[in-house]
């Protein structure tokens, strides 16, 4: 197991290397002078020169790359062209809200969706099944900002149970953290509940038709044990895949939710950077997102081997 | 006589919740006594499995419903029992083993724990007592190294070992009734023989009543005390084994027995002087598993296989699962590329030419697969499926469709079947379609890879007749891959016996199957179930020999 883990981590290095190269070339290989692109249309010659030196654009390409990677390995992602703050610091501030919301969303979604999907499959073809599937169609089709504004309207404005928007770090106490994170979590988890419930139902339906489920029933054990011990664990592999990719998507792609609830997360940072052509920030975000996907995929694969003894690498 | 352990009386099972739906089981009555084995025999769709699932209370809820009669287990009515009571009865009073040992065990739970579940659900034994009992039971089913297997996952065990685990699981609480639903159908003959004698042995030791479901008359002859023949949900005939095999009273039973291919090879045909159409020389296939680090694993699936096939003849490759017989067939058809060795098709070497150059030769060799339910594209009409090959080789659509009609008539189907789809045909009809599809290209060689194995015996007999007739008419050469020695004995001129990728023995079928030279061939023949019965003549083989001598 440990050997497998080390091999996988080792195998991730070239992947990240290719991503790094791509990110590096993204700016350098754009036609024209990168400094001119970065500086925008009304740049002064001094500003252009400053950008050139700060990016080392006067050096040969290979030297630039080595310097860049070297800085990268030391945690230096460069400086934002807009705010002049170190990119590392900018992202650092934004990571906590994004990760908090992604985690809480995926936890909520799993807690709600897996039992829903399992019950729907167990009661396949009954009104319970149709009700759950109806709910999931709703979850897919209602946009997240609609759910978000509805939740704000009811729970923050009418009932005044929680603040309307914003984010408080968990270091400021669990209470303030929790009451600000609960609404965006609910809004975001809607579609993930729909997705995971559907996946769980489909996987469970497959598994419930398997011979070993019939064997389990022939043993005279009760239905709960049949469902939990025999069906659910076998259905877990596709469900875990969806949960994992869902989580990765959540960290980097929750711009709408962050806007609705005015949360300073990395989704909005990315959008702002793209609109402002803040290349160092864009580069860092691409690297970070790739890293998240690599790590999540690794975790998914490790989960496979734990769930299914037949899978060995 | 003692009271029956299982007493099924006038049972009716119908489709759907409402009464008046089509009846799957229509008034069958059977009794099984202590220490007795009743074989429930029938072809697919006869309702034998539904009967067993009804007894266990395991019918899919809402789709199949018992609507009449009674099922009594040691005097207790099953049909009206609550779910809770049924759960209590399962594994304690009645237990079941299934056809597919490969899928009947949960792949993610160690087998010991799967047996343990039975004890935890039905007894109050503590963990140590349970484990002792499980290991004891595992020894009774003759599993080696029980401690190791106890902790193993199913995929680490062979098919035979898994079926032993299933039997241990079923019998660990000494139920009165054991239902065995085709328990050996998915196993190789040598393993089948072991499992059958194991069931016999445990039955003797524990006095279990066994309801044994099978489609295989050979197995019936090996294990039954009494036989019940089913057809389309009705009981055709019941009686002691000897009576049913010797003096079947019903037409259907007679036909069923008459369709069982004999192990005695058909009279050999004259030696052929026709040209050789297919040759394999030292054909080998090695599968390499590449590891990310360290060295990979090598599996030799076929090892220096040499064979020749003449025009108008049938060559059989027989062997158990994993013997490499299908690998050889696929290499010859170039569905997979051989690692080394040569294949000559009509005098032309084809083993190493590129796929593009191979294209004109492909039409000379065509293949028919095992499972007619999966080998035809369900969304393409039968006619289009048959015509696709010729169209590929430049025949006009109209001509190809005309040819498809002729071929369908050749294989005994109506010509208007061209516009229908595979799901509208039975298994036997689909296999005829698959044969027509293969013949559409006028091949020199037809490869039949277990082409009759999925079919009921009566249908199997018809398809074998069809192949024979087509061979006589078209002079086609047939390479026939099978695990079934009975089938091989009836259709092959020569046979090649394979084991672990190697050819063990080859020669004329009449020689190899009556006077085998190699120990493995002898073991295979010895394990063939019901080898002492000449089913088609309603007598034991020895009597037949005595009468003709």
Ranges A92-101, B204-213, B427-436, most confident: B204-213
How far apart CA A291 and CA A294 sit, in angstroms, is 5
pLDDT at A251: 79
More confident residue, A93 or A199: A199
Name the CATH code of domain B276-521 (choices 3.30.465.10, 2.40.30.170, 3.30.470.20, 3.40.50.300).
Answer: 3.40.50.300
In this prediction, residues A56-78 reach a mean pLDDT of 82
Which range (A68-82, B71-85, B437-451) has the least confidence? A68-82
B253 close to B229: Cβ distance less than 8 angstroms:
yes
* Structure letter (DSSP) for residue B262: P
The nearest alpha carbon in chain B to A210 belongs to B103
How far apart CA B42 and CA B365 sit, in angstroms, is 36
User: Does B106 contact A222 at a Cβ distance shorter than 8 Å?
Assistant: no
Q: A231 vs chain B: nearest CA distance in angstroms?
A: 9
ipTM for the assembly: 0.79
Q: Which two tokens stand for residue B242?
A: 């000897």
Residues A2-20 have pLDDT tens digits of 777 888 888 888 888 888 8
Tell me if domain B6-259 and domain B276-521 are identical in fold.
yes
Q: Is the pLDDT of residue B318 over 70?
A: yes
Task: Please state the three-class secondary structure of B290-301 as a single string.
Answer: CCCCCCCEEEEE
How far apart CA B18 and CA B15 sit, in angstroms, is 8
The answer to whether A209 faces chain B, any CB pair under 8 Å, is no
How open is the CA angle B420-B426-B427, to the nearest 5 degrees? 120
pLDDT at B549: 33
User: Does A212 contact B58 at a Cβ distance shorter than 8 Å?
Assistant: no
User: Does B92 contact A216 at a Cβ distance shorter than 8 Å?
Assistant: no
Residue B88 host element (H or E): helix B83-89
| Residues 6 or more apart whose Cβ sits within 8 Å of residue B338 | B283, B284, B285, B302, B331, B351
Mean pLDDT of chain A: 86
pLDDT at B169: 94
How far apart CA B78 and CA B55 sit, in angstroms, is 7
Per DSSP, helices labelled H in B224-292 are 241-246, 251-259
Residues of chain A contacting B16 with CB distance shorter than 8 Å: none
Residues of chain A contacting B169 with CB distance shorter than 8 Å: 215, 219
A16 close to A286: Cβ distance less than 8 angstroms:
no
Token pair 């704000």 is found at: A152
What band does B2 get if pLDDT is binned at 50, 70 and 90?
A: low
The answer to whether B144 faces chain A, any CB pair under 8 Å, is no
Q: A239 vs chain B: nearest CA distance in angstroms?
A: 16
pLDDT at B24: 87
Per DSSP, helices labelled H in chain A are 2-28, 34-39, 45-55, 61-73, 87-122, 127-141, 144-151, 174-208, 211-218, 223-225, 233-252, 255-260, 266-275, 279-307
User: Does B86 contact A220 at a Cβ distance shorter than 8 Å?
Assistant: yes
Largest pairwise CA distance in chain A: 83
Mean pLDDT of chain B: 88
The nearest alpha carbon in chain B to A307 belongs to B108
Residue of B63, B89, B104 best to disrupt the A interface, most CBs of A under 10 A = B104
pLDDT at A31: 66
Burial call B55-87: b when 16+ CB within 10 Å, e when fewer: bbbbbeeeebbbbbbebbbbeeebbebeeeebb
Name the CATH code of domain A88-307 (choices 3.10.180.10, 3.40.640.10, 3.40.50.1010, 1.10.3720.10).
Answer: 1.10.3720.10
pLDDT at B536: 85
How open is the CA angle A179-A185-A191, to the nearest 5 degrees? 160
Ranges A2-11, B110-119, B534-543, most confident: B110-119
Residues A294-310 have pLDDT tens digits of 888 888 988 888 888 88
| Residues 6 or more apart whose Cβ sits within 8 Å of residue A163 | A156, A179, A180
B343 close to B279: Cβ distance less than 8 angstroms:
yes
Please state the domain extents for chain A: 11-73, 88-307
Q: A98 vs chain B: nearest CA distance in angstroms?
A: 35
Q: What's the CA dihedral at B254, B255, B256, B262 to 10 degrees?
A: 90
Please state the domain extents for chain B: 6-259, 276-521
What band does B547 get if pLDDT is binned at 50, 70 and 90?
A: very low
How far apart CA B459 and CA B428 sit, in angstroms, is 6
CA atoms within 13 A on the CB side of B475: 8
CATH number of the B6-259 domain = 3.40.50.300
pLDDT at B85: 93
Task: Please count the other Cβ atoms lying within 10 Å of the Cβ belonging to residue B297.
Answer: 9
* Structure letter (DSSP) for residue A210: S
What band does A253 get if pLDDT is binned at 50, 70 and 90?
A: low
* Structure letter (DSSP) for residue B279: E
In this prediction, residues A199-216 reach a mean pLDDT of 92
In this prediction, residues B45-64 reach a mean pLDDT of 87
The answer to whether B98 faces chain A, any CB pair under 8 Å, is yes
How far apart CA B199 and CA B223 sit, in angstroms, is 9
Q: Is the pLDDT of residue A257 over 80?
A: yes
Q: Give the closest residue to B433 by CA, choosing from B461, B414, B456, B446.
A: B414
Token pair 């170039």 is found at: B334
């Amino acid at each position: 197991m440990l050997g497998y883990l080390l091999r996988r981590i080792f195998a991730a290095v070239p992947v990240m290397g290719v991503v790094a190269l791509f990110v590096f070339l993204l700016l350098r290989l754009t036609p024209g002078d990168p400094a001119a692109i970065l500086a925008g249309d009304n740049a002064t010659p001094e500003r252009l020169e400053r950008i050139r030196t700060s990016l080392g654009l006067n050096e040969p390409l290979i030297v630039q790359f080595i310097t860049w990677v070297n800085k990268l390995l030391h945690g230096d992602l460069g400086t934002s062209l807009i705010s002049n703050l170190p990119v590392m610091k900018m992202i650092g501030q934004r990571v906590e809200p994004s990760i908090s919301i992604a985690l809480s969303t995926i936890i909520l979604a799993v807690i709600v969706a897996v039992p829903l999907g399992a019950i729907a499959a167990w009661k396949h073809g009954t009104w319970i099944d149709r009700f759950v599937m109806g709910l999931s169609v709703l979850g897919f089709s209602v946009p997240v900002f609609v759910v978000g504004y509805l939740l704000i309207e009811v729970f923050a404005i009418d009932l005044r149970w929680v603040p309307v928007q914003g984010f408080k770090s968990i270091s400021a106490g669990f209470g303030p953290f929790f009451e600000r994170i609960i609404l965006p979590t609910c809004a975001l988890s809607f579609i993930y509940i729909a997705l995971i419930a559907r996946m769980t139902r489909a996987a469970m339906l497959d598994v419930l038709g398997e011979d070993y489920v019939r064997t389990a029933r022939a043993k005279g054990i009760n239905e709960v044990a049949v469902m939990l011990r025999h069906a659910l664990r076998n259905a877990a592999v596709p469900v875990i895949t969806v949960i994992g990719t869902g989580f990765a998507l959540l960290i980097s792609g929750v711009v709408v939710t962050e806007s609705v609830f005015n949360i300073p997360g990395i989704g909005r940072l990315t959008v702002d950077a793209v609109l402002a052509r803040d290349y160092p920030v864009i580069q860092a975000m691409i690297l970070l997102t790739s890293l998240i996907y690599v790590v999540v995929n690794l975790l998914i694969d490790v989960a496979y081997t734990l769930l299914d003894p037949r899978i060995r690498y | 006589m003692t009271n029956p352990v299982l007493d099924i009386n006038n049972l009716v099972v119908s489709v759907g919740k409402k009464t008046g739906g089509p009846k799957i089981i229509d008034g069958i009555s059977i009794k099984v006594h202590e220490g007795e084995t009743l074989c429930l025999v029938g072809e697919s769709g006869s309702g034998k499995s539904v009967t067993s699932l009804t007894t266990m209370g395991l019918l899919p809820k809402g789709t199949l419903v018992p609507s009449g009669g009674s099922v009594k287990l040691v005097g207790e009515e099953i049909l009206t029992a609550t779910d809770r009571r049924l759960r209590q009865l399962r594994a304690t009073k009645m237990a079941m083993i299934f056809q597919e040992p490969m899928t009947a065990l949960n792949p993610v739970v160690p087998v010991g724990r799967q047996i343990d579940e039975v004890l935890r659900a039905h007894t109050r034994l503590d963990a140590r007592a349970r484990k002792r009992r499980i290991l004891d039971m595992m020894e009774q089913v003759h599993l080696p190294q029980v401690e190791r297997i106890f902790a193993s996952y199913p995929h680490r065990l062979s098919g035979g070992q898994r079926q032993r685990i299933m039997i241990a699981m079923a019998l660990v609480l000494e139920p009165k009734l054991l239902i065995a639903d085709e328990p050996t159908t998915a196993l190789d003959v040598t393993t089948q023989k072991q499992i059958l004698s194991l069931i016999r042995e445990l039955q003797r030791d524990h006095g279990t009543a066994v309801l044994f479901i099978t489609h295989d008359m050979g197995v019936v002859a090996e294990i039954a005390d009494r036989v019940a023949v089913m057809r389309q949900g009705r009981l055709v005939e019941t009686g002691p084994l000897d009576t049913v095999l010797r003096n079947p009273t019903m037409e259907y039973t007679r036909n069923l027995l008459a369709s069982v291919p004999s192990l005695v090879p058909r009279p050999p045909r004259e030696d052929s002087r026709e040209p050789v159409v297919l040759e394999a020389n030292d054909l080998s296939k090695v599968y390499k598993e590449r590891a990310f680090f360290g060295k990979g694993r090598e599996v030799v699936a076929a090892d220096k296989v040499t064979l020749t096939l003449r025009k108008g003849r049938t060559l059989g490759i027989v062997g158990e699962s994993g013997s490499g017989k299908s690998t050889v067939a696929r290499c010859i058809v170039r569905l997979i590329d051989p690692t080394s060795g040569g294949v000559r098709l009509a005098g032309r070497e084809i083993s190493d030419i590129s796929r593009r150059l191979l294209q004109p030769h492909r039409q000379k060799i065509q293949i028919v697969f095992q499972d007619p339910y999966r080998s035809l594209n369900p969304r393409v009409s039968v006619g289009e499926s048959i015509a696709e090959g010729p169209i590929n080789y430049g025949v006009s659509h109209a001509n190809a469709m005309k040819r498809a009609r002729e071929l369908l008539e050749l294989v005994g189907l109506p010509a208007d079947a061209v516009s229908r789809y595979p799901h509208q045909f039975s298994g036997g009809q689909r296999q005829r379609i698959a044969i027509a599809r293969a013949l559409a290209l006028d091949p020199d060689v037809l490869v039949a890879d277990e082409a009759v194995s999925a079919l009921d015996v009566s249908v199997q007999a018809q398809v074998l007749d069809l192949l024979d007739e087509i061979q006589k008419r078209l002079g086609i050469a047939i390479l026939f891959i099978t695990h079934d020695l009975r089938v091989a004995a009836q259709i092959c001129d020569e046979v090649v016996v394979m084991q672990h990728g190697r050819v063990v023995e080859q020669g004329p079928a009449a020689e190899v199957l009556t006077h085998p030279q190699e120990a493995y061939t002898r073991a295979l023949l010895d394990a063939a179930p019901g080898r002492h019965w000449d089913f088609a003549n309603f007598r034991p083989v020895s009597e037949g020999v005595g009468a003709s001598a």
